[in-house]
């Protein structure tokens, strides 16, 4: 946006007074990075920056984006600094014109994640620029193969600036690297070490977050956004700046600067102010009109300045975008892939018919960089053809096609703000290649539009609240020109109300965040000064055509390399359906060996003092975690001992001291607690000798744990014999904040040797929280050979899922005798402990919510059946109810048999299919014992479902977890009606009426050792309303959806169906792959993904969609 009146006044004033001044920019150079001394060491570099003046005299002023006082202090980044304030230090008196500064990064390489452009600046030519890189700070090495280009665009008598762009290649995607740059020969002109992470590989399915904004600058309006962006290190994956970067061309628009030359000073100020971010992550830029030239009076009166600072020269010299790799031109247009998104960046300033000149008050012609439109079509065509791997196409450009600033009353663009020309040049290609999202700036406001084509809103798939666009039929346009430019937010006067406008905000400076998964783009508009979210909406892909394309098999032998991604396509026919499966990654790096279970107690956590078990003189490298046996070996000297920072069982496998092992806390596990979601957590652990004073410590940081005097701690014991006793402790901590990380440890209040190491967890999302979340769901796991792959998979996903939902048959301790070796022994407790130990890595970090199954009922080995003591102690679900603590007191349930809880947009109801309903199974094998009688489950269930259904406006989804299924091809007639061969009929008779009555959305089950996905089903018949033709989307289903996920690896193996029926409610069945199911939830979408544990291969994925407003529906009801 321009201010022509002010410009004219400045030109007139310059003509009258004939005053021009040149600022000695070189004398004001700020270096951002400390130099190394003669040894080049980081520590020495820090010492070199020490002076007799206390660094506390230096203050970073956000209002000026500079380090004060200027005569003593400079911004000098050292490794470990994460804010400009930390880097504001007393400056030495040396020459800094040659010291590398203004670091910034951009993606590079033809394959995503394989390269990075590392750029920096100096104010004297460095004739031998170099880059050093490595995978650790201490091991950075000179990169001899880096391609380094030096660019300069402006010099005068007192100033020169050089930009260096080093492209390093051969990198690994999503990997952290450390680097420094500078002179090859003079160490004092080398930077300190910084670090970055490479891009995710194209097709990587993990979520990522991008900060997106345009129109920033360095004036007062931008301070809040600048400060906000500076705080984004480690919080977003990269930044996408949609043009109008520094506003250096507006340098003259104040009385103080009207007659001077400040263009370079402002550009340097901008680069300095954001170096903290740009040195750690890619800063991808889009060309805007304010990048075109310098047009201050001083520049207009100088041919030299006009020549050097015209036609986007500064912009193209200072940055290095991946145009060579993508066939683009300079930084004007280019593209790159990042995981599930293809980003296409174009110029709305040049090289299309009737493009704006951007040459103000001169007759110069800018642009003529190349055939942009031909490149754009080729790029979009290739990206569209690659949807199977990279499903989303996002375009970044500066000027918008559609905006309130430049359209008529019908929403048709006009040329008041050049929108009509932009629309004519680009929209056909956007529509032709089905661009998903167009991100723009230029207009100093936030505008969110409905899917739009040919000036009309295309409302197909738009939810009634306007916040979810499911499979939109046209591109979605967003304007984010709100970062804080010097010209201010645009004050619309009597704007039109086009149908494509969802909302406009011209009151808040801020940024947007783009959160991407393969099926969801969520855009969040955030006010920079306060962090307030002023808008959020999602674009959802549910169409499975992106997964119905065959592509070449690419396979890496991960067992031999321990790296790489196995990506394979597999087709098979089932129920006349052809399924094509994409994959996630798998790294199989462990060797298998024979195993004998260790009789000694394994403790998991060191006490953190000098007597800690990890303090042995024996080398911990001798300890190896064997996935094949889920144990730490050799058993006589090693055990699992988790310490803070361990993220795998292998890391926790350490030399042991078993002298006090029975009193050490172990088998830590978590469960949600509290009457309000996110306000409490149950922290549970085990010892093998009674702790009379069990305690929990909690805090917001690892170093500030406090004893929780108000925690309610319950001690439970269910089995003892002459040689063994076990105690379970359940500490319920309350008063917590939702979706917040806490650190904790547990153990004896007084004896530090019997306290655990620190772990951490994040509390549940509050009820009604609309942010997406993911859980792992499975049943029938155990700890035998069949479960190894699933156990390993689950141990690797603590940072990828929000919690785990185990739908029954947990440890299979009752099956301990079913081998010739164990048939006459007592191994029930040993197997249960083995399960808890093997899963501690995950259970100590995320809530592990359990559902009762038939294998939790009792011990029925010959040894137990011959012992009344064992039958009494180990019957009627005693171990299950003592070892775990589910939120039944808070939800009116009973023990761990039935309970409910809420998480974000979903209400989870867990019930018992084993007890307490008419004709429930006895589960008392070979005895006449009667189990159950815990309470009136059905009355509780109706009350719980009724309350949840009434709360749909806040928590829209209702999900039931249970063990035995009511519909399964293991227990139904040819017409799909359940029978009692596998007890399904009794389960249906007890529960289905309530599920239908209260409109349960999804029922998750186990028990059958297979994966079954059903259509919405009621009264034994499929209800096909809303089911898509490819069967992979259920939109507003009119009956509950049933899924069986009993495939985690139970010792009894997969069920072998013989001549199974083909009921109309069955979509598919898989009984060949041990797996887990991922459940991804938003307020309008549940996506279930069945993932093979050993390889990460996806064998089924489908979505349940709510496209109506649940509040409106509830009010109508």
- State whether 694 and 840 are in the same domain: no
Token pair listed for 453: 């084509």
- Whether residue 571 lies inside any domain: the answer is no
Mean pLDDT of the chain: 84
Q: What are the helix and strand counts (H, E) for the chain? A: 23, 64
Binning pLDDT at 50, 70 and 90, where does residue 822 land?
confident
Q: Which of 105-114, 280-289, 572-581, 854-863 has the lowest mean pLDDT?
A: 572-581
Residue where one domain finishes, among candidates 509, 541, 573: 541
CATH classification at residue 210: 3.60.21.10
User: Closest Cα to residue 450, out of 433, 468, 431, 434?
Assistant: 468
Binning pLDDT at 50, 70 and 90, where does residue 645 land?
low
User: Is it the case that residue 625 has pLDDT exceeding 80?
Assistant: no
The answer to whether 1049 touches 782, Cβ cutoff 8 Å, is yes
Q: What is the pLDDT of residue 579?
A: 31
Q: What is the pLDDT of residue 1117?
A: 45
Token pair listed for 803: 């919690």
| Ordered DSSP codes for 272-315 | HHTHHHHTTSBEEE---GGGS---SHHHHT-HHHHHHT-TTHHH
- State whether 773 and 734 are in the same domain: no
Mark residue 999 as left, alpha or beta (left: phi above 0; alpha: psi -120 to 50; beta: remaining): left
Rounded Cα distance between 551 and 194, Å, is 39
Q: What is the pLDDT of residue 606?
A: 26
Q: What is the pLDDT of residue 557?
A: 34
User: Is it the case that residue 257 has pLDDT exceeding 90?
Assistant: no
The answer to whether 169 touches 145, Cβ cutoff 8 Å, is yes
Residue where one domain finishes, among candidates 723, 741, 759: 741
Give the mean model confidence (pLDDT) for residues 646-662. 69
- State whether 402 and 366 are in the same domain: yes
Rounded to 5 degrees, φ, ψ at 229 are -65, -35
- Whether residue 594 lies inside any domain: the answer is no
User: Closest Cα to residue 92, out of 182, 31, 41, 183?
Assistant: 31
Token pair listed for 592: 């298998």
- State whether 841 and 986 are in the same domain: yes
Give the mean model confidence (pLDDT) for residues 476-494. 90
Binning pLDDT at 50, 70 and 90, where does residue 1108 land?
low
Quote the distance between the C-alpha of residue 794 and its chain's center.
17
Q: What is the pLDDT of residue 364?
A: 87
pLDDT digit string, tens, across residues 601-618: 222 222 222 222 222 223
Three-class SS of residue 868? Answer: helix
Give the mean model confidence (pLDDT) for residues 745-758. 92
User: Is it the case that residue 696 has pLDDT exceeding 60?
Assistant: yes
Binning pLDDT at 50, 70 and 90, where does residue 56 land?
low
pLDDT digit string, tens, across residues 1000-1049: 999 999 999 999 999 999 999 999 999 999 999 999 999 999 999 999 99
- State whether 1037 and 1098 are in the same domain: yes
User: Is it the case that residue 627 has pLDDT exceeding 50?
Assistant: yes
Q: Where are the alpha helices (DSSP H) in 117-256?
A: 223-230
- State whether 735 and 773 are in the same domain: no
The answer to whether 44 touches 78, Cβ cutoff 8 Å, is no
Three-class SS of residue 266? Answer: helix
| Ordered DSSP codes for 357-386 | ---TTS---------HHHHHHHHHHHHHHT
- Whether residue 268 lies inside any domain: the answer is yes
Token pair listed for 829: 């407790």
User: Closest Cα to residue 932, out of 949, 951, 913?
Assistant: 913
Q: Pairing mode, if any, of strands 727-733 and 724-725? A: unpaired
- Of residues 517 and 11, the one with the higher pLDDT is 517
The answer to whether 400 touches 445, Cβ cutoff 8 Å, is no
Give the mean model confidence (pLDDT) for residues 1049-1060. 86
- State whether 702 and 796 are in the same domain: no
Element (H, E) at 942: helix 937-950
**On the CB side of 480, how many CA atoms lie within 13 Å of its CA?**
32
CATH classification at residue 687: 2.60.40.380
- State whether 695 and 780 are in the same domain: no
Give the mean model confidence (pLDDT) for residues 702-707. 91
Q: Which of 76-85, 376-385, 737-746, 815-824 has the lowest mean pLDDT?
A: 76-85
**Residue 653: C-alpha distances to residues 604, 627, 758, 897 (Å):** 9, 12, 16, 34
Mark residue 474 as left, alpha or beta (left: phi above 0; alpha: psi -120 to 50; beta: remaining): beta
Rounded to 5 degrees, φ, ψ at 854 are -65, -30
Number of domains observed in the structure of the chain: 3
- Whether residue 692 lies inside any domain: the answer is yes
Give the mean model confidence (pLDDT) for residues 915-937. 90
- Whether residue 570 lies inside any domain: the answer is no
- State whether 330 and 470 are in the same domain: yes
The answer to whether 125 touches 160, Cβ cutoff 8 Å, is yes
The conformation of residue 633, written as its DSSP 8-state character, comes to: E
Binning pLDDT at 50, 70 and 90, where does residue 65 land?
confident
Give the mean model confidence (pLDDT) for residues 973-1001. 95
User: Closest Cα to residue 91, out of 126, 67, 124, 125?
Assistant: 67
Which residues, other chains included, contact 859 with Cβ-Cβ below 8 Å and sequence gap of 6+? 813, 814, 828, 870, 871, 874, 875
Q: Which of 20-24, 295-299, 796-800, 1107-1111 has the lowest mean pLDDT?
A: 20-24
Rounded Cα distance between 834 and 497, Å, is 65
User: Closest Cα to residue 294, out of 263, 318, 259, 260?
Assistant: 263
Q: What is the pLDDT of residue 548?
A: 37
Binning pLDDT at 50, 70 and 90, where does residue 13 land?
very low
User: Closest Cα to residue 1004, out of 782, 780, 791?
Assistant: 780
- State whether 289 and 387 are in the same domain: yes
User: Closest Cα to residue 114, out of 314, 325, 411?
Assistant: 325
- State whether 678 and 793 are in the same domain: no
User: Is it the case that residue 27 has pLDDT exceeding 80?
Assistant: no
Residue where one domain finishes, among candidates 541, 572, 592: 541
Q: What is the pLDDT of residue 888?
A: 96
Please give the residue range of the domain that contains residue 730: 667-741
Q: What is the pLDDT of residue 843?
A: 96
- State whether 502 and 431 are in the same domain: yes
Q: Which of 146-150, 324-328, 369-373, 599-603 has the lowest mean pLDDT?
A: 599-603
Rounded to 5 degrees, φ, ψ at 523 are -110, 125
- Of residues 253 and 366, the one with the higher pLDDT is 366
User: Closest Cα to residue 725, out of 829, 817, 868, 598?
Assistant: 829
Q: What is the pLDDT of residue 628?
A: 66
The answer to whether 558 touches 566, Cβ cutoff 8 Å, is yes
- Whether residue 98 lies inside any domain: the answer is no
- Whether residue 181 lies inside any domain: the answer is no
Give the mean model confidence (pLDDT) for residues 1050-1062. 87
Q: What is the pLDDT of residue 658?
A: 55
User: Is it the case that residue 8 has pLDDT exceeding 50?
Assistant: no
Binning pLDDT at 50, 70 and 90, where does residue 547 land?
very low
Task: Tell me the Cα Rg of the chain.
Answer: 32
pLDDT digit string, tens, across residues 707-740: 998 899 999 999 999 889 999 999 999 999 999 9
Q: Which of 387-396, 816-825, 831-840 has the lowest mean pLDDT?
A: 816-825
Q: What does the longest C-alpha to C-alpha distance in the chain come to?
A: 111
The answer to whether 585 touches 1096, Cβ cutoff 8 Å, is yes
Q: What is the pLDDT of residue 599?
A: 30
Q: What is the pLDDT of residue 621?
A: 63
Rounded to 5 degrees, φ, ψ at 651 are -70, -30
- Whether residue 81 lies inside any domain: the answer is no
Total residues found in the chain within this entry: 1117
Q: What is the pLDDT of residue 626?
A: 77
């Amino acid at each position: 946006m321009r201010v022509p009146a002010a410009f004219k006044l400045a030109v007139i004033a310059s003509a009258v007074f004939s005053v021009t001044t040149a600022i000695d920019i070189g004398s004001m150079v700020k270096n951002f990075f400390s130099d190394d001394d003669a040894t080049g060491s980081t520590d020495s570099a820090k010492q070199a920056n020490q002076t007799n003046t206390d660094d506390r005299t230096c203050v970073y002023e956000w209002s000026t984006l500079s380090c004060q006082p200027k005569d003593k202090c400079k911004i000098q980044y050292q490794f470990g600094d994460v804010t400009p304030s930390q880097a504001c230090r007393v400056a030495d008196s040396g020459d800094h014109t040659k010291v590398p500064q203004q670091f910034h990064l951009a993606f590079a390489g033809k394959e995503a994640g394989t390269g990075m452009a590392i750029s920096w600046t100096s104010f004297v030519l460095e004739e031998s620029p170099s880059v050093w890189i490595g995978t650790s700070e201490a091991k950075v090495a000179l990169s001899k193969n880096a391609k380094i280009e030096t660019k300069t665009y402006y010099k005068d008598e007192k100033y020169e600036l050089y930009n260096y762009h080093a492209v390093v290649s051969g990198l690994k995607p999503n990997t952290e690297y450390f680097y420094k740059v500078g002179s090859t020969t003079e160490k004092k002109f080398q930077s300190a070490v910084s670090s970055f992470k490479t891009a995710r590989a194209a097709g990587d399915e993990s979520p990522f977050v991008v900060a997106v904004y345009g129109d920033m600058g360095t004036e007062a309006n931008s301070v809040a956004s600048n400060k906000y962006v500076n705080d984004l290190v480690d919080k977003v994956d990269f930044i996408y700046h949609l043009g109008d970067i520094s506003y250096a061309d507006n340098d003259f628009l104040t009385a103080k600067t009207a007659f001077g030359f400040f263009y370079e000073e402002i550009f340097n100020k901008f680069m300095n102010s954001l170096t903290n971010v740009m040195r750690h992550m890619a800063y991808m830029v889009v060309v805007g009109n304010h990048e075109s030239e310098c047009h201050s009076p001083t520049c207009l009166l100088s041919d030299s300045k006009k020549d050097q600072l015209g036609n986007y020269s500064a912009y193209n010299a200072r940055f290095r975008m991946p145009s060579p790799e993508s066939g683009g031109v300079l930084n004007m247009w280019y593209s790159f892939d990042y995981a599930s998104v293809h980003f296409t960046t174009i110029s709305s300033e040049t090289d299309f018919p009737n493009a704006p000149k951007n040459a103000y008050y001169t007759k110069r012609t800018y642009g003529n960089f190349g055939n942009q439109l031909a490149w754009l079509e080729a790029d979009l065509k290739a990206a569209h053809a690659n949807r199977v791997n990279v499903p989303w196409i996002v375009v970044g450009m500066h000027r918008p096609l559609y905006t309130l600033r430049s359209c008529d009353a019908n929403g048709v663009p006009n040329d008041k703000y050049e929108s009509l020309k932009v629309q004519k040049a680009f929209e056909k290609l956007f529509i032709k290649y089905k661009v998903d999202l167009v991100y723009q700036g230029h207009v100093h406001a936030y505008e969110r539009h409905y899917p739009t084509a040919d000036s009309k809103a295309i409302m197909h798939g738009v939810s009634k609240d306007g916040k979810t666009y499911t499979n939109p039929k046209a591109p979605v346009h967003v304007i984010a020109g709100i970062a804080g430019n010097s010209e201010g937010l645009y004050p619309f006067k009597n704007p039109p109300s086009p149908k494509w406008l969802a909302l406009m905000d011209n009151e808040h400076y801020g940024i947007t965040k783009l959160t991407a998964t393969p099926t969801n783009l969520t855009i969040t508009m955030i006010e920079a000064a306060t962090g307030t979210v002023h808008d959020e909406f999602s674009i959802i892909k549910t169409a499975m055509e992106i997964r119905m394309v065959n592509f070449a098999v690419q396979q890496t032998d991960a067992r031999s390399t321990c790296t790489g991604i196995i990506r394979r396509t597999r087709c098979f026919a089932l129920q006349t359906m052809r399924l094509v499966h994409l994959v996630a990654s798998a790294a199989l790096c462990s060797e298998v060996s024979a195993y004998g279970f260790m009789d000694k107690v394994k403790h998991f956590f060191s006490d953190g003092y000098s007597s800690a078990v990890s303090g042995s003189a024996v080398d911990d490298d001798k300890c190896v975690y064997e996935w094949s046996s889920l144990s730490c070996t050799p058993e006589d000297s090693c055990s699992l001992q988790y310490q803070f920072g361990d993220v795998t069982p292998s890391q926790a496998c350490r030399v042991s001291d078993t002298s006090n092992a029975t009193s050490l806390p172990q088998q830590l596990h978590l469960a949600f607690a509290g009457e309000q979601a996110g306000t409490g957590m149950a922290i549970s652990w085990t010892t093998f000798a009674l702790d009379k004073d069990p305690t929990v410590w909690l805090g917001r940081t690892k170093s500030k744990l406090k004893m929780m005097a108000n925690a309610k701690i319950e001690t439970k014991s269910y089995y003892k014999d002459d040689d063994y006793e076990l105690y379970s402790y359940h500490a319920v901590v309350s008063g917590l904040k939702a979706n917040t990380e806490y650190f904790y440890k547990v153990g004896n209040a007084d004896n530090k040797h019997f306290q655990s190491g620190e772990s951490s967890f994040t509390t549940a999302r509050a009820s009604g929280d609309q942010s997406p979340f993911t859980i792992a769901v499975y049943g029938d796991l155990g700890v035998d050979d069949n479960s190894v792959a699933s156990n390993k998979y689950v141990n690797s996903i603590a940072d990828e899922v929000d919690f785990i939902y185990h739908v029954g048959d947990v440890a299979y301790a009752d099956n301990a005798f079913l081998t010739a070796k164990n048939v006459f022994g007592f191994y029930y407790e040993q197997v249960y402990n083995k399960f808890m130990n093997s899963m501690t890595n995950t259970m100590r970090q995320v809530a592990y919510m359990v559902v009762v199954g038939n294998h939790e009922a009792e011990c029925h080995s010959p040894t137990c059946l011959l012992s009344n003591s064992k039958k009494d102690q180990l019957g009627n679900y005693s171990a299950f109810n003592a070892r775990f603590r589910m939120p039944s007191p808070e939800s009116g349930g009973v023990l761990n048999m039935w309970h409910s809880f809420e998480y974000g947009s979903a209400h989870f109801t867990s019930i018992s299919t084993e007890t307490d309903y008419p004709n429930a199974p006895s589960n008392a094998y070979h005895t006449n014992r009667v189990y159950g009688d815990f309470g009136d489950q059905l009355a509780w269930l109706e009350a719980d479902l009724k309350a949840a259904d009434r709360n749909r406006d806040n928590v829209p989804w209702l999900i039931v977890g249970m063990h035995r299924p009511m519909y399964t091809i293991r227990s139904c007639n040819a017409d799909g009606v359940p029978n009692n061969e596998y007890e399904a009929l009794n389960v249906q008779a007890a529960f289905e009426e309530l599920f239908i009555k209260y409109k349960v959305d999804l029922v998750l089950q186990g028990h059958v050792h297979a994966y079954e996905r059903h259509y919405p089903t009621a009264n034994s018949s499929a209800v096909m309303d809303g089911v898509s033709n490819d069967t992979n989307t259920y939109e507003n289903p009119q009956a509950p959806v049933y899924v069986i996920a009993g495939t985690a690896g139970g010792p009894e193996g997969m069920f072998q169906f013989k001549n199974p029926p083909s009921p109309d409610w069955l979509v598919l069945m898989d009984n060949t792959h041990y797996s887990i199911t991922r459940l991804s939830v938003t307020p309008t979408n549940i996506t279930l993904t069945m993932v093979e544990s050993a390889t990460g291969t996806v064998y089924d994925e489908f979505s349940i969609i709510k496209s109506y407003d649940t509040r409106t529906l509830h009010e109508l009801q």
